[in-house]
Amino acid sequence: MLLADTRVRWEQLKEGRQTYFLTGTDEHGLKIQGVAEKQNIPPKELVDNVSQNFKHLAQRMKIEYSRFIRTTDADHVEAVGHFWNIMMDKGLIYKGKHSGWYCVSDEAFYPESQTEEITKDGKTIRISKETGNEVFYQEEENYFFRLSAYQEDLIRYIEETPDFIQPEPRRKQILEELREGQLQDLSVSRHTSRLQWGIEVPNDPNQKVYVWFDALLNYLTAAGYPKADTTALENIWPAHHVIGKDIMRFHCIYWPIFLMAAGIQLPKTIFVHSHWLCDGKKMSKSIGNVVDPYAMADHYGVDPLRFFLMEQSNINTDSNFSESGFFHHRAMLLNKFANLTSRVCAPNFEISRGLQQAEAGEFDKIDELLRKDNVTNSDKEKVISLRDELVKSIDSLQQTMDDSLASFDHMKALKEWWRVVDSTNEFFQATEPWSYNKHVGDGPSPERTIRNYLLFLATEGIRVTTLCAQPYMPDLTEKILGRLGVDKDKRTLDHAKIGADLTYGDGSNRKYEEKLMHKVKPREGAKD
SS (H, E, C) 391-436: HHHHHHHHHHHHHHHCCCCHHHHHHHHHHHHHHHHHHHHHHCHHHH
- Edge-to-edge strand list for the sheet holding 93-103: 108-110, 93-103, 136-145, 186-187
Q: How far apart are CA 306 and CA 54, in angstroms?
A: 16
pLDDT of residue 288: 73
- Looking at residues 317-345, what average pLDDT do you find? 95
- How do residues 212-261 score in pLDDT, each as one tens digit? 999 999 999 999 999 999 999 999 999 999 999 999 999 999 999 999 99
Instruction: Please determine, for residue 526, whether its predicted confidence score (pLDDT) is greater than 80.
Output: no
User: How do beta strands 281-282 and 276-278 pair?
Assistant: antiparallel
Task: Give domain 94-191's CATH number out of 3.40.50.300, 3.40.50.10860, 2.170.220.10, 3.40.50.10420.
Answer: 2.170.220.10
pLDDT of residue 284: 67
Q: What is the mean pLDDT of the chain?
A: 94
Give the residue from 517, 451, 442, 524 showing the smallest Cα distance to 483.
517
* Range of weakest confidence among 204-208, 258-262, 287-291: 287-291
Q: How confident is the model at residue 527 (pLDDT cuts 50, 70, 90)?
A: low
In degrees to the nearest 10, what's the CA dihedral of 494, 497, 500, 504? 100
Q: How confident is the model at residue 72 (pLDDT cuts 50, 70, 90)?
A: very high
Instruction: Please determine, for residue 169, whether its predicted confidence score (pLDDT) is greater than 80.
Output: yes
Q: How confident is the model at residue 287 (pLDDT cuts 50, 70, 90)?
A: low
For the chain, residues classed under CATH 3.40.50.620 are 1-87+212-287
- Looking at residues 172-177, what average pLDDT do you find? 96
Name the CATH superfamily housing domain 1-87+212-287.
HUPs (3.40.50.620)
Q: Of how many residues is the chain composed?
A: 528
- How do residues 359-410 score in pLDDT, each as one tens digit? 999 999 999 999 999 999 989 999 999 999 999 999 999 999 999 999 999 9
pLDDT of residue 107: 74
Alpha helices in 280-409 (DSSP H): 293-300, 302-311, 323-332, 339-344, 351-360, 366-372, 380-405
Phi/psi of residue 445, nearest 5 degrees: -165, 155
CA 151 to chain centre: 31
pLDDT of residue 476: 98
Q: How confident is the model at residue 18 (pLDDT cuts 50, 70, 90)?
A: very high
Predicted TM-score of the model (pTM)? 0.91
For the chain, residues classed under CATH 1.10.730.10 are 298-495
Bigger pLDDT: 47 vs 378: 47
Q: How confident is the model at residue 106 (pLDDT cuts 50, 70, 90)?
A: confident
Task: Kindly tell me the sign of the dihedral angle through the C-alpha atoms of 467, 471, 473, 475.
Answer: positive
Instruction: Please determine, for residue 347, whether its predicted confidence score (pLDDT) is greater than 90.
Output: yes
Q: How far apart are CA 297 and CA 226, in angstroms?
A: 41
For the chain, residues classed under CATH 2.170.220.10 are 94-191
Q: How far apart are CA 447 and CA 434, in angstroms?
A: 11
* Range of weakest confidence among 93-107, 251-265, 310-324, 509-523: 93-107
Bigger pLDDT: 154 vs 101: 154
pLDDT of residue 114: 86
- Helices 2-12 & 380-405, crossing angle to 10 degrees? 110
pLDDT of residue 59: 98
Task: Give domain 298-495's CATH number out of 1.10.730.10, 2.40.128.280, 1.10.1520.10, 3.10.350.10.
Answer: 1.10.730.10
